[in-house]
A and B are shown apart, each in its own frame.
Chain A
Amino acid sequence: MAEDWKNGGFGLYVHWPFCQAKCPYCDFNSHVAREIDETVWIRAYLSEIERVAGETPDRLLNSIFFGGGTPSLMHPDTVAAVIEAARLHWTFANDIEITLEANPGSAEAGRFLGYRDAGVNRVSMGFQAMNDADLKRLGRIHSVNDALSAFDVARSCFDRVSFDLIYARQDQTLQAWESELEKALNLSVDHLSLYQLTVEDGTAFGDRYAAGKLRGLPDDDRAADMYLLTQDICDSYDMPAYEISNHARLGTESRHNLIYWKYGDYAGIGPGAHGRLTLNGKRFATECPKLPAAWIERTSAGNGESVRTQVSPSEQSEEYIMMGLRLAEGLDIDRYTQLSGKPLPNDKLIYLQDLGMVSLSGATMKATRKGQPVLNAIIRELLAD
């Protein structure tokens, strides 16, 4: 606990698994349901908070994140109940960050005040695109105008507002992306998540792609150009990337996500939620069943978790590299060595430096701008047996 700061602190992730409609590209654990009895969900979340807090009684909570799915479909009272329970069981940090993911529709905007009153102090909105034609192609049910008005409401309710865009879309030119991105940067936003479209197996896009029917996606070279252009533009707007896909003005980085990337501890509750917990000096990975009904059933039997496995120090060292190298500030090589029991192979470090992929100063290793777009290859090289 004394070292919490180093690991980015301790956070609580709350998964809300429902959406109004399933987006064709999305492989998050989200389901479309006709009727949701939120009292059942409140009961489940509260019992999970009580259970996890029982194991981590005296930790300082730095962040709560309502993710989904579409948490902005939750009733503000549900959100309030969860936050209250967390406050009861843990000590809140003075500057606790409480984020809620929101879809930018008008109905959601109507609940923003309620969320604020419940204690939410940051929203992250899924804009995805800044033109209606592409929103349609992405299967989104909101328009650019919907998003902009929702954004205004959000701005008036919360100090901190972020939104997500998906780029490297079908038939998207560099110029088109540039103008979309600038439009976004000109809104008074302090944080942006900019994700290149990933075609995931098991989604509608995945099937279409396999059938050769998802055309016009950029090849790797063009996707790399788009990535680099994104970095340049955001830099010029004072919104540098602090992580591969996340940009913020200095000091407004998402603290919750930093916990992941600094490989700190987090409890994960809700269907499909993952956690990493240090208990009695050992590190555990936790997982909950993905199906909402299965999770609810487990919680009513007293424990929503379906998997708890110990993460060995050497596995931790690998996870630390995979998470930490995503950060612009890099990672601490000594922490890796401590976990894995052996230093990173020197020949590989020299090799990767010679290629200009990573830079080292003192005990800090970072992926360079050249290395960031090929981070998986760097990690493969570093962690190859």
Chain B
Amino acid sequence: MTDLAHIRNFSIVAHIDHGKSTLADRLIQETGTVKERDMQAQLLDSMDIERERGITIKANTVRIDYTADNGETYVLNLIDTPGHVDFAYEVSRSMRAVEGSLLVVDSSQGVEAQTLANVYHAMEADHEIVPVLNKIDLPASDCDRVAEQIEDVIGIDASGAIQVSAKTGQGIHETLEAIVHELPAPTGTRDAPLKAMLVDSWYDSYLGVIVLVRIMDGVLKKGERIKMLSNGSVHHVDRIGVFRPEMQVIDELGPGEIGFLTASIKQVRDTRVGDTITHEKKGTTDALPGFKPAQPVVFCGLFPVDSAEFEDLRDAIEKLALNDASFSYEMETSAALGFGFRCGFLGLLHLEVIRDRIEREYDIELITTAPSVVYHIYMRDGTMTELHNPADMPDLTHVDHLEEPRIKATILVPDEYLGDVLKLCQDRRGLQMDLTYAGSRAMAVYDLPLNEVVFDFYDRLKSVTKGYASFDYQMTGYREDNLVKMSVLVNDEPVDALSMMVHRDRAEARGRAMVEKLKDLIPRHMFKIPIQAAIGGKVIARETLSAMRKDVTAKCYGGDATRKRKLLDKQKKGKKKMRQFGKVDIPQEAFISALKMDS
């Protein structure tokens, strides 16, 4: 156990791709925590999907030992956090476990939306913040400008900002010194009853549930019986350790320390992040404030392409949910798609990540239905129900009014693109709340309906600003609006998986965009197919997909009938990737692509 004065706990936060994980690599390397030959880039991004996409999804904790210039050895616990807005929850809860943050800013890019968002989280958590200007090896790096921006936009002192290249290792030593000298040591009392914060938990197939804890007061030892304050459940601690970054078993964890415990807990669901852990006997009764649980904000249906794989899908979803408390699911049946699950996600990237993992790790092909946000339906009788699926929209005669979730969006963008950004926000029913300038960058704050944002807002924003805008949002609440359910009819049959909620004023435009898209996405059939969007019984947009005219093999290839049979098998497989609605085959990707709007 380390005395408090020699512990520093901090998170590394930044906008996406500003170099958090690479900086963590250098800190790990410089302190010799990992042997040189075991080192690899973004060491902490260990999931396949993280490595493939080059992003961090899950926060990671590492304990490193650092002997400072003053000759003293410190224990540093660093938490590398994700940058993408969908995983903001991971960042804010990580911050609760530490006393300071390294605020990394790419010095060739400057302050971005998540830079701001993270600073606010850090301030809320009363953190000491050390600004780090990264990527100084790049020709476009401009530390003076970015330091000034940090002072102007964020309002924190950037005079002591450390100039770093996480790529070359320049400035890493200075960063370590700053951690030791500028971040506060944790506080806590060794003799007090045990009070530990349950920071995170996940499922490991060998060890069962692993719980990440931060000790506030007292000492936690192997073999002790612990109690979760939220529900009083008691567990026997069978292992205690720290991450370096692989697991290393130790005897005890004292105040200020961060580490893990295992206690034969079967399901992640039996643990609650933010909970207070204490001893069964002579424990504390004084609970920590806890975290707000992460609420899924985007819902969609996941159905197996091959309906025989439903049970496999259930298995996959249950396993993934074990590790991801922010992902919710319940069974759903659809007239056209059969059995599947209605799943809730933190955002679209989260959705994509889960879908990818199911498809790849469990080898199940999926049909994803139109993502939807959660509406509040107020009925005539005064009750309120949540609508997770537009297909479940009750009969209008019973409905008094609908409310939709709104967000506060913060967008940072170079001046020259501001016009396009304002137009985009306007088009998406946004209300401007604030518009300020810092140098040549504007910061626009908008109140927007979440349903206009979840789907493709970020893609559109990137494209109208050539990638120069950054974006962050927070949920703010619900508001009534004129919302209607738009259904889609293909060959005169309604396709429930394509129905969606829209604002009445935008219905025609969305309907038109939708039927045009579907016309391109559905392959031609032997007959012509009307594609319509409708509200109630009223058709608001219509396209006709003309009949297929040519699909025949010209040559005969000697007697190679096998070749023909292979072709047929291939076509049959292709057909399996589609779903039949009446006589029409709709390809699986149509369900998501049809919703992307081009403007």
Write the residues of chain A forming the contact surface with B, with a CB cutoff of 8 angstroms.
13, 15, 28, 65, 67, 195-198, 220-221, 223-224, 227, 243-245, 257, 259-261, 263, 266, 268, 273-276, 285, 287, 315, 318-319, 322-323, 326, 351, 355, 357, 372-381, 383-385
The contact string, 1 if C-beta is below 8 Å from chain A, for chain B 367-381, is 000000000000000
* B282 interfacial contact with A, CB 8 Å: no
- Decide yes or no: A375 and B551 within 8 Å by CB, A260-B556, A273-B558, A322-B561 being known contacts: yes
A383–B568 touching, CB < 8 Å: yes
- Decide yes or no: A274 and B558 within 8 Å by CB, A377-B548, A380-B568 being known contacts: yes
Q: A261–B551 Cα gap in the complex (Å)?
A: 18
Q: Which residues of A contact B553 (CB under 8 A)?
A: 198, 244, 375-376
Q: A58–B571 Cα gap in the complex (Å)?
A: 39
A245–B526 touching, CB < 8 Å: no
Write the residues of chain B forming the contact surface with A, with a CB cutoff of 8 angstroms.
524-527, 548-562, 564-565, 567-568, 571-572, 575, 583
B558–A198 touching, CB < 8 Å: no
- Decide yes or no: A274 and B554 within 8 Å by CB, A318-B565, A357-B526, A374-B549 being known contacts: no
Q: Which residues of B contact A243 (CB under 8 A)?
A: 556
- Decide yes or no: A67 and B558 within 8 Å by CB, A322-B568, A377-B526, A379-B568 being known contacts: yes
Q: Which residues of A contact B555 (CB under 8 A)?
A: 195, 198, 245
Q: A217–B561 Cα gap in the complex (Å)?
A: 27
- Decide yes or no: A268 and B561 within 8 Å by CB, A224-B549, A245-B554, A318-B568 being known contacts: no
Q: Which residues of B contact A227 (CB under 8 A)?
A: 550
Q: Which residues of B contact A319 (CB under 8 A)?
A: 561, 564-565
A373–B549 touching, CB < 8 Å: yes
27 intermolecular pairs with C-beta atoms under 8 Å apart? A13-B558, A28-B557, A196-B554, A197-B554, A220-B524, A220-B551, A221-B549, A260-B559, A263-B561, A266-B559, A274-B558, A274-B562, A276-B559, A287-B562, A318-B565, A318-B568, A319-B565, A322-B561, A322-B568, A374-B548, A375-B551, A376-B567, A376-B571, A377-B551, A380-B575, A383-B572, A385-B572
Indicate the member of B551, B552, B555, B560 with the most A CB atoms within 10 Å: B552
Q: How far is the CB of B460 from chain A (nearest CB, A)?
A: 27
Q: Which residues of B contact A318 (CB under 8 A)?
A: 565, 568
Q: Which residues of B contact A65 (CB under 8 A)?
A: 558
Which of A28, A244, A259, A355 contacts B526 (CB under 8 A)?
Answer: A355
Q: How far is the CB of B404 from chain A (nearest CB, A)?
A: 42
B565–A274 touching, CB < 8 Å: no
Q: A383–B564 Cα gap in the complex (Å)?
A: 13
Q: Which residues of A contact B571 (CB under 8 A)?
A: 376, 380
Q: How far is the CB of A280 from chain B (nearest CB, A)?
A: 20
Q: Which residues of B contact A245 (CB under 8 A)?
A: 554-556
Closest to A244 in B: B552
Q: How far is the CB of B307 from chain A (nearest CB, A)?
A: 13
Q: A381–B561 Cα gap in the complex (Å)?
A: 19
Indicate the member of B525, B554, B555, B559 with the most A CB atoms within 10 Å: B559
Q: A240–B329 Cα gap in the complex (Å)?
A: 61
Q: A322–B564 Cα gap in the complex (Å)?
A: 7
Q: A351–B524 Cα gap in the complex (Å)?
A: 17
Closest to A65 in B: B558
B556–A257 touching, CB < 8 Å: yes
- Decide yes or no: A376 and B552 within 8 Å by CB, A355-B526, A355-B527, A384-B575 being known contacts: yes
Q: A375–B556 Cα gap in the complex (Å)?
A: 13
Which of A224, A259, A287, A379 contacts B550 (CB under 8 A)?
Answer: A224
Closest to B546 in A: A221
Q: Which residues of B contact A198 (CB under 8 A)?
A: 553-555
Q: How far is the CB of B576 from chain A (nearest CB, A)?
A: 8
- Decide yes or no: A260 and B554 within 8 Å by CB, A355-B527, A376-B571, A380-B568 being known contacts: no
Q: Which residues of B contact A275 (CB under 8 A)?
A: 559
Closest to B548 in A: A374
Closest to A198 in B: B554
Closest to B574 in A: A380
Task: Give the 9 A-B CB pairs with smallest separation, nearest first.
Answer: A224-B549, A224-B550, A220-B550, A375-B552, A195-B554, A376-B551, A319-B561, A196-B554, A274-B560
Q: How far is the CB of A155 from chain B (nearest CB, A)?
A: 25
Q: Which residues of A contact B564 (CB under 8 A)?
A: 319, 322-323
B559–A274 touching, CB < 8 Å: yes
A220–B572 touching, CB < 8 Å: no
Q: A357–B549 Cα gap in the complex (Å)?
A: 12
